[in-house]
Chain A
Amino acid sequence: MNQQQQRLTIFEAVVLYFRALFSGARSLAASIGATFPYLGGGRAIDFRKEVTEQYPDPVSSRTADDLPPRSRGLLFNDIERCTGCGDCERVCPTGAILLETVNLQESAKTWVSVFDIDFARCTFCGLCVESCNPASLVHTKQFEGAVYQKTDLVASFGRGRISPAHLQKVEARG
């Protein structure tokens, strides 16, 4: 927007013209000077001249071990330590966790029959891991969770539904 519409003298116009020409040429030279060092691997960061990670080539891609310890990858539940309290199911924002338990009569342990995590819904927010008291539910650093069928996205960690006969056997064992 040109607020001042003064007429320039010819001299001023010519000077402005050449100044624009030279500033254009100079900025072009500066731009080339900024990109030219990158040729042949100059300006490399961390000894890598390309920032591309050629996944899944082990040439330059990161594996699960290279990730920081707090990385929130796929979830894993150690069913031996799980008490079936259901805190994770309650706090999950998307309802990805499904829990079914059976109370064993003569022991304090709970039989966690169904513990399904639907990774189609999981947003890897970590609220469930934080809420887990026995610390059985943890984030692994695994990030490769692609499957061929949608039903395979559900990870089942439960011990499985049991029939009443089997239940008696388990309770007898104690």
Chain B
Amino acid sequence: MNSDSMEVFATDLSEVPIGPYHPLFPQGLKLRVSVDGEVISGIMIESGFQHRGLEKAIERQPWHAGIMYADRLDPEAAASAELALCLAVESISGVEVPKRAQVVRIILAELNRISSHLGFLAKMARAVGAMTLSHYVLRDRERFLDLFELLTGSRFSFCFLRFGGVSADVTEGFVERVLEACDLIRMRLKEYNDLLTYNHAFVARTHGLGVISETLAKKWSLSGPNARASGLDRDLRRDEPYSGYERYDLANPLTTKSSDFVRLGDTHGRFVLRLMEIEQSVSLLRQATESLPRGEFRNEQIGQSFVPPEGETLVEVETPRGVLGCHVVSTGAEKPHRVQFQGPSLQSLAAFREIVIGERFEDLSVILSGLDISLSEVDR
């Protein structure tokens, strides 16, 4: 307003610091974006704000305590991380898991997948500005969190799996409530389609945005829905099944007739693919609950003081965000020697750094939420 100080407004290149606390992300991430007008010309990412030293903390307690830490790797998709750790330890020690326990693990993992995808949907809706849908989705996710509380006792970090099985059996009436929730979510998916998927403004906002080609996906080792939407059709549950997945028929969303535009690899395709994966999980849940075998829910020989023998293994599971690898090294001691997790979000963040160049500044949040990155998985 005062004319004695003339500020020259530079419109060519500016650096915008974003974060670490910003409405864009649910967790802390620091970005330094170089903007040319409204177009992004460079980006520098600094992560690590969620680092809690999980892997080191696992080394200081007996083996079973590691399950609690595995939960915290990605709080929204805790079941898969627990599953990875349990499968790794069981593989080292040759422990057999009863069939009923395997099916309960699958049920929990698929319910968790649905709730994680619903969380993604809410974040995406918020990034695009559709606050109404965000509230609806979170309300529906509450149903699933109630289911988790019914089965495991906790809404987010379950600490439910144990080496050799699960810690408690399925409660009475649980299966019926699972099926009810499945019906509810199928009904709601139609509503979400009306509100967001086929909404003209949303499609204009996300179509052709942040395209990840197949070569780029291979270069950054992407996995999960991010890779499948780019054409890399690899799903560990189908290609290298674990924990009893081989018994079920995974209806591949990519082979349905409405999947042509999913393969473009843009944000809209990734979004639609995750919605289709919710339906896939629903069909898996129906199959699993139909055929819940009788038997024990836990290998009785494995107690609290179980110690696996010496050995080392790497186990990969399909989490809602991609492939999670769990590398376990045991020296036969009471405490683990080394447990290492490598989650899929780090690769997605690396790919993000490349695909965001050339896009508009306004689309930064849309692309970032579209990749479904969990920063606590990146930072551990």
Contacts and interface: CB of A to CB of B under 8 A. Distances in A.
A–B interface present (Cβ within 8 A): yes
Interface of A: 1, 20, 23-24, 27-28, 30-31, 33-35, 45, 51, 67-72, 87, 90-93, 123-127, 130-131, 139
A34 B191 contact: yes
Interface residues of B, number: 38
B149 A91 contact: no
A28 B135 CA distance: 19
A34 B137 CA distance: 13
Contacts of A130: 167, 304
B109 to A, nearest CB: 19
B121 interface: no
Nearest to A2: B208
B314 to A, nearest CB: 23
Nearest to A21: B200
B271 interface: no
Central interface residue in A1, A28, A31, A69, by most chain B CB within 10 Å: A31
Given A33-B194, A68-B149, A71-B153, A91 B199 contact: no
Contacts of A28: 199-200
A91 B62 contact: yes
Given A68-B150, A131-B304, A31 B68 contact: no
Nearest to A129: B153
Contacts, number: 86
Contact of A91 (B64, B135, B142): B64
Interface in B121-157: 132, 135, 138-139, 142, 146, 149-154, 157
Nearest to A27: B200
Nearest to A25: B200
A40 to B, nearest CB: 16
A126 B138 CA distance: 27
B285 interface: no
Interface in B152-167: 152-154, 157, 159, 167
Contacts of B195: 31, 34-35
Contact of B68 (A35, A51, A68, A123): A123
B357 interface: no
Contacts of B364: none
19 contacts: A23-B200, A27-B199, A28-B200, A30-B199, A31-B194, A33-B194, A35-B132, A45-B139, A68-B150, A70-B149, A70-B151, A71-B149, A92-B65, A93-B57, A93-B69, A123-B72, A125-B71, A126-B154, A127-B159
Contact of B61 (A30, A35, A72, A93): A93
A92 B314 CA distance: 26
A123 B138 CA distance: 24
Nearest to A133: B304
B157 A123 contact: yes
B232 interface: no
Contact of B171 (A70, A71, A91, A92): A70
The 6 closest A-B pairs by CB, nearest first: A93-B65, A70-B153, A51-B139, A125-B159, A24-B200, A125-B68
Given A1-B211, A68-B149, A87 B154 contact: no
Contacts of A69: 171
Contacts of A125: 67-68, 71, 157, 159
A72 B153 contact: yes
A125 B64 CA distance: 11
A131 to B, nearest CB: 5
B168 interface: yes
Interface in B24-66: 57, 61-62, 64-66
Given A23-B200, A34-B191, A124-B154, A51 B142 contact: yes
Contacts of A127: 64-65, 67-68, 159, 304
Contacts of A126: 153-154, 159, 167
B198 A27 contact: yes
Contacts of A87: 304
Nearest to B132: A35
Central interface residue in A24, A27, A35, A71, by most chain B CB within 10 Å: A27
A168 B138 CA distance: 61
Central interface residue in B68, B146, B201, by most chain A CB within 10 Å: B68
B138 to A, nearest CB: 8
Contacts of B135: 51
